[in-house]
Amino acid sequence: MDTYLLDWANLLLRWAHVIVGIAWIGASFYFVFLDNSLTKPEAPDLKAKGVDGELWAVHGGGFYHPQKYLVAPQSLPEHLHWFYWESYSTWLTGFGLYVVLYLFNPNSFLIDRNVHDWSPTAAVAAALGFLAAFWFVYDALCRFFGERDGKVGGDALVGALVFVYVVAASWAMCQLFAGRAAFLMVGAMMATAMSANVFFWIIPGQRKVIAQMKAGEPVDPIHGQRAKQRSVHNTYFTLPVLIAMLSNHYGWLYQGRHNWLVLVVLMLAGALIRHSFVARHKALVQGRRVPWEYATVGTLLIVALAVALAPRPAPALAAGTPAPALAQVNSVVQQRCVLCHNAQVQQKNVALHTPELVLQHAQQVYQQVVVLKLMPMNNATQITDEERTVIQRWFEAGAKP
C-alpha cells in the first residue's frame, strides 16, 4: 500500500509540475521575446509617458499593444500583475517529486554502489547540498563578475564561468550518484537557481522599485538591470534543464562510461539553440541577419552525439550456431530480474518468475533491458553486456519458446 500511495504522489506531483512548468517557461519565453522585439515609440503621447519600447501583436482575434517603461511609469497603475507563482509552484512541485521519488528511495534511485558506495544518509545530504551549493556559487559569480560601478554587465564572462561550474558539477555528480539521478540532479540544481533568481532578485527588485515610487524617491535603475540579467540567465537555463529532466527515461544516455560528457553536450546544444532564438528576436527588429549558426551548431552536436551513442549490433554468431533458447534467457532473468518481478513483488505489474511469463513479456524485457537499458534499475543486480546480448539475440530471432 505504501508503494501504491507513493506512486499516486509521484503521478500527481509530476502532473502538477508539468502544468506549472509550462506556465513558467511559457511566460519566460514570452517576455524574452517581448523584450527583444520592442521598438522605440514614435507617438508623442507614448514618449511623454516614458514608454521606452512598444510592440503591436495580433492573437486570438484581437490586437495587443504591450509597452515597456524604463525605469518605471510616472505613476503606479491600480492593478499590477506579478509573475512569480509560476516559478515558485514549479520549484515546489519539482522538489516534492524529487523527494518522493529519489530521496525516499535512495538505495533504489540515488545510489549505484558500482559508482560510489556510501550510506543513504550521506547520499541524501550530498544531493541536497549540491542544490544549495550551485545557487551560492552561481549567485556569487553574478554579483562579483556581473556588476561593476553600479551597472550590470559582464554576461559573457559570467556565462563562461557558470558553464565551467556546470561541467565540473556534472562530472562530480556522475562520479558519486547513479547516472539517472546524477542527470536529474544537474537539472534540479539549475532549476533551483532559476527559481532562486526570481525569489531573491527579480521580485525583491521590483518591490524596491514600487516602494521608491510610493515614497516619491527617484527609482534606482540597478534593480531593473539585475532583474533583467537574472531573467536572461533563466531563459538560457531552460532547455538544458528540460533535457536533464527528460533524460531519466533513456538509460542509454546516462549509463555510459562518459555519461557526464553526454549530459554536458546535450545541455550545451540546448543553450546554443535557445540563444539562436533569442538573437533572432533582436535581429528581426533591427533588420539584421538571423544568426541561425548557433542553432546549427547545437543541432550538429546532437547529431554527433546520436552517432557516438548508436547501439552496436550484436556480434555475429558463427555459422550454424543457434540463437539462444528461452531456457538461457530465463536463466538470466531469474538471476537479474526476478528480485523485483516475482509472484510477491511485481514492479509495474510485471512478473517474470516463470519461463511462460518471460515469453509473455518478451517485448517489454527487450525494450527495457536491451534498447533503453533502464533495467535493472541502476544495474542493481549486475547484469552484464553479454547477458543483455543473450536477450537481444533471442528476441530478434523471434523470441521462440
39 pLDDT tier (thresholds 50, 70, 90): very high
- 169 vs 291 pLDDT, higher one: 169
Distances (CA, A) of 12 to 28, 101, 192, 240: 24, 12, 21, 24
User: What average pLDDT is seen over the chain?
Assistant: 90
DSSP letters for 340-366: TBSSS-BGGG---SSHHHHHHTHHHHI
Whole-angstrom Cα distance, residue 232 to residue 251? 32
Cell reading at 262: 553526454
1 pLDDT tier (thresholds 50, 70, 90): very low
Does the pLDDT at position 316 exceed 70? no
In 3D space, the residue among 334, 324, 345 whose CA is nearest the CA of residue 390 turns out to be 324
Region 243-257: mean pLDDT is 88
Question: Cβ distance 56 to 42 under 8 Å?
Answer: no
CB < 8 Å & 24+ apart, contacts of 306-314? 309/252, 309/253, 309/256, 309/262, 311/252, 311/371, 314/389, 314/392, 314/393, 314/396
- Report percent pLDDT > 90 for the chain: 56
Whole-angstrom Cα distance, residue 161 to residue 155? 10
Give the pLDDT score at 319: 65
**For the segment 146-184, what is each residue's pLDDT rounded down to a tens digit?**
887 667 777 889 999 999 999 999 999 999 999 999 999
- 135 vs 340 pLDDT, higher one: 135
Q: Are strands 151-152 and 67-69 parallel, antiparallel or unpaired?
A: unpaired
Cell reading at 367: 525494450
235 CB-near residues (< 8 Å, 6+ apart): 28, 29, 32, 274, 278
Distances (CA, A) of 383 to 40, 172, 191, 273, 377: 63, 25, 34, 37, 10
Region 330-359: mean pLDDT is 86
Whole-angstrom Cα distance, residue 194 to residue 19? 17
Burial of 384 (0-12, 13-18, 19+ CB in 10 A): exposed
Does the pLDDT at position 400 exceed 50? yes
Whole-angstrom Cα distance, residue 138 to residue 234? 12
**DSSP run (H or E) holding 151:** strand 151-152
Cell reading at 246: 527528460
Region 300-312: mean pLDDT is 91
- 178 vs 318 pLDDT, higher one: 178
- Cell numbers 550545451 correspond to 268
Q: At CA 116, angle to CA 110 and CA 119, rounded to 5?
A: 65
**DSSP run (H or E) holding 319:** none
Cell reading at 95: 522538489
Most trustworthy range by pLDDT among 43-52, 140-149, 179-188: 179-188
Region 378-393: mean pLDDT is 85
Give the pLDDT score at 307: 93
- 284 vs 161 pLDDT, higher one: 161
Cell reading at 132: 544549495
317 pLDDT tier (thresholds 50, 70, 90): low
Does the pLDDT at position 31 exceed 90? yes
pTM for this entry: 0.86
DSSP letters for 32-85: HHHHHH-B---SHHHHHHTEEEE--EEETTEEE--EEESS--SS--S------H
Give the pLDDT score at 382: 82
